[in-house]
Copies of this chain bind each other. A is one copy, B any other.
Amino acid sequence: MPDTQTNANGERVLADLNALRAIGAYKTGVHKPTFSEPHRQSLDWLVQKLPDAGLSATIDGIGNVLGTSTKAGPKLLAGSHLESQNYAGWLDGPLGVIYALEAARVLNADPSVKGAVEVAAWCDEEGHFGSFLGSRSYVGQVTEAEIDAARDRTGGRAMRDALAEMGLSGRARVAVEPGRHVGYLEAHIEQGDTLESSHLAVGVVTSIVGIWQYRINFSGEQNHAGTTRMAVRKDAGLALAKFCVAIDERFPDTCGPRTVWTTGRITLEPGAPSIIPGGAEMLFQIRDDNPAVIARLEELLRTMADEASAKGPCTVSVEKIRTGAPAMMNAGFQDAIEAASKAVAGGRSIRMPSGAGHDAQMLATVMPAGMLFVPSIGGISHHWTENTADVDIVTGAQVFVDACRRILSA
């Protein structure tokens, strides 16, 4: 395939991304929670743009925007999401939607390209109301009861009320049409520093890691912080601290090369300055794309808990509260992205897993899926300073469009 064919228009891509940034702007980022006014305006903006790519646009009953084509030939679904975390960055989500829009604009109008790119903006990937609600709905995993119960985690607004205010009450939800698509392709900022620190332009995602989450409980004895001698205390908070340090010491010998683990929340009971904590809890998360690694680490965790309980004075229990199977990216799609990188980005790409979750992991349950990463400056994400150099945004768009062309012609 020659490299001289029509490709992404970098200026148009940057202009579109900046147009979306202007809706709900916050400092250099955006504040665009799901079903907020800026989110609604962003969906409408996309609906207005899709016809330029030869696509018919609809917003479905859960807030997914879908652009469909009547062009003959294979269809490749591409997209990401338009809402943001609270007071967060401008590229997390919109980058993938605009790349998909650009690919559709370039390829759908090109009679030499067999088939078309269809565009999706999945609603609430950021989880204001639930977990991947839009893409999960599309793959058939969201019930009406789940929507009935969903509330905004920040303000508590019921999802049904939010849908009504968006004018979406009673609309059907669009579900995957088996056989319609050859697969799904999504671009995203890396949200880490692997590409930047290696001076690379493109990450070819091999898998989206699974997330395993544990609630680790420490049970001691609540007592008076003034009258209880150190020697007889059963301080659940101290037991927790020792356990955190032990994880830090022992996990590196057992983990895989890319495993990450995080204690994100700690609670002491009752949490008063003059009371020795009788109970303590930590939320602990492990991510890896290899379930065998997770299994080893979980066994280590349980062994450590048993050892700590046997040693005393507190008892430790480990409860698994979330199991997330990793999503493998399609091998052919990885090859297409790598070939596109060689063709238009000097081959400055690397294969890597995604440590963060993305809509692609939901789509991967029903069709071949692939992901492309562009560098994140300083690896920063979920913060208004999140950014990517313009040159990297443009290069990424060119690789993405070229990869779509290769997949459609495969």
Interface set of A (CB-CB < 8 Å, partner B): 190-194, 209, 211, 213, 222-230, 232, 235, 237-238, 240-242, 244-245, 248, 252, 258-268, 271-277, 283, 285, 287, 354-357, 379-383
Contact = CB atoms under 8 A, between A and B. Distances in A.
A273 B268 contact: no
Nearest to A248: B238
A224 B358 CA distance: 13
A318 to B, nearest CB: 15
A192 B227 contact: yes
Contacts of A224: 191-192, 355-356, 381-382
A294 to B, nearest CB: 14
A273 B277 contact: no
A225 B263 CA distance: 9
Ranked nearest first, the 5 interchain pairs of A and B with the lowest CB-CB distance are A226-B355, A192-B227, A241-B244, A225-B262, A191-B227
Nearest to A226: B355
Given A240-B241, A241-B244, A227 B271 contact: no
A273 B283 contact: yes
Contacts of A266: 237, 266-268, 271
Number of copies: 2
A282 to B, nearest CB: 9
Given A241-B245, A244-B238, A268-B265, A228 B192 contact: yes
A265 B272 contact: yes
A23 to B, nearest CB: 24
B248 A244 contact: no
Contacts of A240: 241
B277 A380 contact: no
Contacts of A237: 244, 263-264, 266
Contacts of A287: 225-226
A273 B283 CA distance: 6
Contacts of A381: 223-224, 227
Given A275-B382, A285-B225, A260 B192 contact: no
A91 to B, nearest CB: 14
A238 B263 contact: yes
